[in-house]
């Protein structure tokens, strides 16, 4: 398919916001014709073996599965393949280099230090011969029978360099809630080590935070951010609705992680720039444990 599939095709470094952590929000991220094609052919959960019978439950269908499922529409296979590729990693650098460098100047002292990283696909390749593992997942939140947040304010795991969402609000979606919040710690905690004591695992109560920006769940809207110990975000409560919340979930993982966790899952501290890589084999035990806590 000879066309630009990137959700960052309309973004530039000028769109990068550093407060309270590096992020971009891109309305109308894709051309109308491409978005309409993706919207009309969004795969049914049952075509991916997804059970959608739990209340407000998050499901993901990873790129490694999509590449093997020839029953999915070709436009979706192409779209997902692009967003799990080295080309999309380069798109991330074009927009986010300054933000990554600002957060991690010792680990990534210049653009070349990021450009030289070898890119693979998560759960298809490994850190044995790759430095960044990309994933793009067809995702959704199931209908709501009892008002709840699918993920309240939290930090993502420290092995994720970036996280992203491409929202695909269906035309029939009329549910209230499900918006993304971007927050900072309140004045009493900002920049202080004791802010980590407020976490319960990966989560922190909203009374410890000030919401800086609320990104509405909307169609054709992309939001991507760089992870750090300050990159607190969450999803607002969804009210009961028979409709699913559909999106694409994006991640780029690195090893060693950017920051560590306590045994109970609370954020702990940044890793030094010269931290050795996780021994092969040990990663396979540690990373699944981290994901169980952080998702």
pLDDT digits (tens, 9 = 90+) for 38-61: 999 999 888 888 877 789 988 899
Question: What's the CA gap between 155 and 295, in Å, rounded?
Answer: 10
Model confidence, pTM: 0.90
Q: How far apart, in Å, are the Cα atoms of 73 and each of 38, 47, 70, 81, 255?
A: 9, 11, 8, 12, 33
What is the pLDDT averaged over residues 92-115? 96
* 128-141 pLDDT tens trace: 999 999 999 999 99
27 vs 215: CA distance, rounded Å? 10
Q: List the CATH code of the domain at 19-294.
A: 2.60.120
Q: What is the pLDDT of residue 54?
A: 82
pLDDT digits (tens, 9 = 90+) for 183-221: 999 988 887 878 888 888 889 999 999 999 999 999 999
Burial tier of 44 (Cβ tally within 10 Å: 0-12, 13-18, 19+)? exposed
């Amino acid at each position: 398919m000879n066309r630009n599939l990137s959700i960052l095709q309309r973004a530039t470094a000028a769109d990068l916001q550093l407060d309270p952590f590096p992020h971009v929000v891109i309305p109308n991220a894709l051309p109308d014709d491409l978005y309409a094609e993706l919207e009309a052919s969004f795969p049914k959960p049952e075509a991916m073996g997804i059970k959608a019978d739990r209340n407000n439950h998050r499901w993901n269908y990873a790129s490694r599965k999509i590449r093997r499922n020839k029953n999915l529409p070709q436009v979706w296979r192409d779209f997902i393949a692009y967003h799990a590729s080295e080309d999309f990693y380069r798109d991330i650098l074009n927009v986010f280099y300054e933000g990554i460098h600002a957060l991690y100047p010792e680990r990534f002292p210049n653009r070349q230090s990021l450009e030289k990283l070898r890119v693979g696909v998560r759960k298809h390749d490994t850190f044995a011969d790759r430095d960044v593992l990309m994933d793009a997942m067809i995702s959704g939140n199931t209908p709501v029978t009892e008002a709840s947040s699918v993920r309240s304010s939290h930090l993502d795991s420290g092995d994720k360099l970036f996280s992203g969402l491409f929202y695909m609000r269906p035309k029939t979606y009329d549910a209230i809630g499900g918006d993304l919040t971007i927050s900072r710690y309140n004045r009493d905690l900002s920049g202080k080590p004791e802010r980590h004591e407020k976490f319960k695992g990966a989560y922190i109560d909203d009374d410890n935070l000030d919401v800086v920006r609320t990104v509405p769940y909307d169609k054709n809207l992309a939001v991507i951010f760089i992870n750090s110990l300050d990159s607190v975000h969450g999803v607002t409560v969804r009210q009961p609705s028979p409709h699913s919340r559909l999106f694409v979930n994006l991640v780029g993982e690195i090893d060693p992680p950017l920051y560590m966790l306590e045994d109970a899952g609370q954020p702990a501290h940044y890793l030094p720039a010269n931290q050795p890589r996780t021994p092969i084999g040990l990663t396979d035990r540690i990373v699944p444990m981290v994901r169980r806590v952080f998702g």
